[in-house]
Amino acid sequence: MEASTFDQELADLKATILKMGILVQELIFKSVEALKTRDRNLAKSVIKMDMEVDRLELVVDEKCINLIALRQPKASDLRFITTGIRIATDLERVGDLAEDIAERAIELSEQPLLKPLIDIPRMAILAEQAVAYSLDAFVGRDVKKAKAIWQIEKEVDHLRDLVHDELLSIMSKDPTTISRAIPLLLVSRHLERISDHATNIAEDVVYMVEAKVVKHGGGKEE
């Protein structure tokens, strides 16, 4: 009975983290959709929905701390729980970055778009995918899936460079575009940051499974 309750609590923790993950993926999608369609209301709804992400982070933290304090889990369970705390922090930041994109969308909603957006929505799809993969890797303790994110991150970085160069060239040719180009430049950085957070999660998963520190390039063994 006791053991099964602990398993239930772990399953419940996993479910809450997944819920957070699904929600932030929705926020990434909607924030960029709001940017593309210049839909101010959609952008505002993203800002509102991010409050739920923030609330879920607190729920995850509480569940994790309770599990550690009351159940005194050992070894791999303890590692799973502490990874949960870190993942919730990353997902909360992803929510904040989607909110940042939504704010740029609001800023740009009353002006004509500088150009049809192609690379930014592509970056958004990759960033969403990176977040999805990182959570799959977490729940499945799947190192291979975690490492697949390195490749996605590279593509995102490449697209960010393309967007950056293109916007710089547009601004240089026509300085009247500067105030519309800079928010797009920031959006591409926000998306890059989102994929960095997915990479953080992936690194934490590899650490959790292999019990060594991948992140920060450290080589610390447990």
At its nearest, how many Å lie between its own copies and the CB of residue 68? 5
Q: Which of 48, 55, 154, 212 binds its own copies (CB under 8 A)?
A: 55
Site track 63-82 with its own copies (rule: CB under 8 A), x = hit: --x--xx--xx----x---x
Contact call for residue 144 and its own copies (CB under 8 A): no
- Which stretches of the chain are DSSP H helices? 2-37, 40-66, 75-108, 119-139, 143-173, 178-210
Contact call for residue 7 and its own copies (CB under 8 A): no
CB-nearer residue toward its own copies: 55 or 140: 55
Q: How many residues of this chain interact with its own copies, rule: CB under 8 A?
A: 32
Site track 166-195 with its own copies (rule: CB under 8 A), x = hit: --x--xxx-xx-xx--x--xx--x------
Contact call for residue 211 and its own copies (CB under 8 A): no
Going by C-alpha positions, the residue among 52, 13, 58 that lies closest to residue 30 is 52
For the beta carbon of residue 35, count every other beta carbon within 10 angstroms: 27
At its nearest, how many Å lie between its own copies and the CB of residue 202? 16
What are residue 212's phi and psi, to 5 degrees?
-140, 160
164-182 burial, b at 16+ Cβ within 10 Å, e below that, comes to: bebbeebbeeeeebeebbe
Asked whether the beta carbons of 134 and 195 are under 8 A apart, the reply is no
Contact call for residue 162 and its own copies (CB under 8 A): no
Going by C-alpha positions, the residue among 65, 76, 69, 64 that lies closest to residue 222 is 76
Asked whether the beta carbons of 55 and 67 are under 8 A apart, the reply is no
Q: Which of 29, 37, 45, 89 binds its own copies (CB under 8 A)?
A: 89
Residues that bind its own copies (CB under 8 A): 51, 54-55, 58, 61, 65, 68-69, 72-73, 78, 82, 85, 89, 168, 171-173, 175-176, 178-179, 182, 185-186, 189, 213, 215-218, 220
